[in-house]
């Protein structure tokens, strides 16, 4: 009898642990999904279809927040999607790739363009202040971190490792094979971005 009671107790304990893990995982997934989604109800029907394909396919291998924050030209998005499509783990066919590219390009020229307008820098601010605003405007924090904030490669101390000229060159023409897109920033914006990066000394 004691053995049966002990077995039942252990079974209940295991079930409770499993339920707790599943509940936590569900909560994390729900939170992550909410943080990595946008309202596309006003988008054309075909673009909404592309968004659903983007969510379903791209989330199989990575989070969506980076793509929803980054800024690229239509050509840049096409290159990135095709790069992902070529990976062995990808299940994206050519039709789906085209739909994803159409969504990303449309989202870039509408939602992201509107957000950039809202965060336009004050031309009277110092270059490094404008550069920091541009850093956020172009979604650099999606793939880079500063002071532990952001994702991917840390830029802490880059101001003591690179010259202004080197930084400008990296911004305009990222290394071959790099996931970093060539920026559509103007010459002045590149100067301001470099000015901000030069302040990151530690």
In this predicted model, what pLDDT tens digit does every residue of 176-186 receive, in sequence order? 777 777 676 78
Q: How many CA atoms lie within 13 A of 45 on its CB side?
A: 0
Residue 138 lies in a domain: yes
pLDDT at 134 over 60: yes
- What's the residue count for the chain? 202
Residue 9 lies in a domain: no
CA dihedral 154, 159, 163, 168 (to 10 degrees): 60
Residue 15 lies in a domain: no
Give pLDDT, residue 73.
81
pLDDT at 53 over 50: yes
Query: What domain count does the chain have?
Result: 2
pLDDT at 31 over 60: no
pLDDT at 29 over 60: no
Tell me which residue of 92, 94, 106, 28 sits closest to 56, measured CA to CA.
92
Q: Residue 105 corresponds to which tokens in the numbers above?
A: 């390009």
Residue 5 lies in a domain: no
Gap between the Cα atoms of 77 and 180, Å rounded = 11
Confidence band, pLDDT 50/70/90 cuts, at residue 138 = confident
Residues 160 and 172 in one domain: yes
pLDDT at 140 over 80: yes
Measured between its terminal Cα atoms, the distance across the chain in Å is 66
Domain of residue 45, residue span = 27-117
If you average pLDDT over every residue of the chain, what do you get? 79
Confidence band, pLDDT 50/70/90 cuts, at residue 119 = low
Q: In this structure, what DSSP letter does residue 140 have?
A: G
Gap between the Cα atoms of 137 and 120, Å rounded = 8
Confidence band, pLDDT 50/70/90 cuts, at residue 34 = very low
Confidence band, pLDDT 50/70/90 cuts, at residue 106 = very high
């Amino acid at each position: 009898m004691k053995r049966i009671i002990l077995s039942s107790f252990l079974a209940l304990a295991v079930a409770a642990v499993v339920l707790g893990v599943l509940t936590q995982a569900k909560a994390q997934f729900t939170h992550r999904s909410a943080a990595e989604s946008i309202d596309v109800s006003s988008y054309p029907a075909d673009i909404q279809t592309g968004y659903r394909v983007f969510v379903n396919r791209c989330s199989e291998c990575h989070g969506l927040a980076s793509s929803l924050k980054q800024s690229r030209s239509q050509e840049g998005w096409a290159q990135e999607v095709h790069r992902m499509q070529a990976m062995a783990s990808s299940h994206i066919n050519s039709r789906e790739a085209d739909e994803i590219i159409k969504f990303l390009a449309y989202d870039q020229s509408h939602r992201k363009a509107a957000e950039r307008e809202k965060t336009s820098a004050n031309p009277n601010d110092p270059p490094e202040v404008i550069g920091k605003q541009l850093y956020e405007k172009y979604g650099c924090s999606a793939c880079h971190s500063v002071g532990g904030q952001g994702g991917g490669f840390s830029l802490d101390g880059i101001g003591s490792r690179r010259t202004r000229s080197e930084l400008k060159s990296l911004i305009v023409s990222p290394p071959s094979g790099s996931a970093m897109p060539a920026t559509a920033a103007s010459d002045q914006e590149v100067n301001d971005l470099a000015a901000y990066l030069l302040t990151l000394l530690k």
